[in-house]
Amino acid sequence: MSTGYQIVVCAGIVPDPLQTLEPVPGPTGPALKNEMMLPAVLDPWARHALYEAAHLAKSAPGSQVWLVSLGPKAKLQQALMTIAQKVSFDLVALDGPASGFTEAAEVAAALAEAIQAIPGLDKSRLLVFGGWESASRGAGVTLPMVGEWLGIVDQFQGVDELKVSPDGSLEILERIEGGRHQLSRCAGPPTVLGWATGHLPEPKNNPQIGMVNMRTAMPALQKAKPVTLAGAGFAFARVTLPRQLRPTRIVKDTAPDAIAKEIVEWIRR
């Protein structure tokens, strides 16, 4: 494809998975204890989408990658310090809350508006990537709603592989029920793809790429549009950590069928 693709990756930021997260009541609803002190990283599923976007852009001359992210500017900058050294992209930053206690419809509307405002956006070349799931906004509906706001009807979720055919059509391997995969074909952009894990290794750090990215990312952070998520129409009655249940019993000489039956009965209780 001579003109290449315009690939927009929607990616949120989340606390480092190694941190202990504790929900607490906040002035506007539930929040995480010491949230602003927790180190931030790019969402793991979104990272896969970004790597796949960079690979596709490299194989299709004339392509360009944008990273669109909604979160506090300070946290976005922290996450970019690591991800910016991996792949090349242009940052579109939105300054707003990044917690998992936000309404997916409001997040999707803000992301779609930011995408539509990208200068020179050509929907006939547009591919919207993102995570199939999320470590914070795991409702699984944010990315599909972004596609709906943009008027994109060809959407694929749980994508593991994307291939471009010689005629420009897209061949998409996506997960379905029962641990199986479905092979779908799409005529081409515009398309929305929610990535599962992809199949590419994580790119190595390249300080030169990092310097080029940060040269444009820092001005983008300074000009980040403030976004207020009102959360109108919904409320949290209670937010607590899951209870840990670890009853352990050591037995010997028990048949596998008996063990399985006991486990099933315990789950049912």
The string of DSSP codes covering 198-258 is -SPPPPPP-HHHHHHHHHHHHHHHHTPEE-----TT---S---PPPP--------S--HHH
Which H/E stretch holds residue 266?
A: helix 256-268
Which of helix, strand or coil describes residue 146?
Answer: helix
Whole-prediction pTM value? Answer: 0.78
Beta bridge partners of residue 14, listed in sequence order: 41
Tens-level pLDDT at each residue, the chain (269 residues): 447 899 999 988 877 766 667 677 766 666 677 777 777 788 888 888 899 998 899 888 889 999 998 888 888 888 888 888 888 888 888 888 777 677 778 888 889 999 999 998 998 899 999 888 776 656 678 888 999 999 999 999 888 889 988 888 899 998 888 778 889 999 888 999 988 876 777 788 888 888 888 888 888 888 878 777 776 556 666 666 667 667 677 778 888 898 899 889 988 87
CATH fold of 6-226, please? Answer: Rossmann fold (3.40.50)
- Residue 188, amino acid: G
**Spans of all domains in the chain:** 6-226
**Torsional sign, CA 156, 161, 164, 169:** negative
Structure tokens at 8: 């927009």
C-alpha neighbours within 13 Å on the C-beta side of residue 145: 15
Structure tokens at 77: 């900058």
